[in-house]
């Protein structure tokens, strides 16, 4: 199972399957418009500006592990691999850079 994690606060692209999207007014509107295309388990997540981006991603990954333990890959958009520098808690993942962000396996 592929899971998408979207950190872009003004996301306006396509997505299907299970999607975790950062909570914002524009993203709530996107979620409502695409709800019927998404798999159950799709959700919003909140950003904690007092934490690093890498740690915020780690927190979302913990939620995914709890709710979609059968995931095979996680496509992250709205972040770059440079955002993960020094994030030792992500060392168990294979990270592949892609145009929209990166994929975790």
Q: Tell me the per-residue pLDDT of 17-74, one tens digit each, with 9 for 90 and over.
A: 999 999 999 999 999 999 999 999 999 999 999 999 999 999 999 999 999 999 999 9
Given a cut of 90, whether residue 104 has pLDDT beyond it is yes
pLDDT above 90 (res 16): no
Average pLDDT over every residue of 79-96: 89
Q: What pLDDT does residue 85 have?
A: 83
- 80: containing domain: 2-104
Dist. CA 78–CA 10, nearest whole Å: 10
Q: Report how many domains make up the chain.
A: 1
Q: CA–CA separation, 96 vs 68, rounded Å?
A: 21
């Amino acid at each position: 199972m592929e899971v998408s994690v979207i950190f872009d606060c003004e996301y306006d692209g396509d997505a299907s399957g299970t999607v975790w999207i950062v909570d914002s007014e524009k993203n709530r509107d996107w979620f409502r418009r695409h709800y019927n295309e998404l798999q159950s388990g799709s959700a919003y997540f909140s950003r904690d500006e007092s934490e690093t981006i890498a740690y915020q991603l780690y927190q979302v990954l913990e939620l995914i592990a709890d709710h979609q333990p059968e995931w095979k890959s996680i496509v992250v958009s709205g972040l770059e691999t440079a955002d993960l520098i020094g994030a030792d808690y992500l060392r168990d993942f294979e990270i592949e850079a892609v145009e929209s962000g990166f994929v975790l396996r």
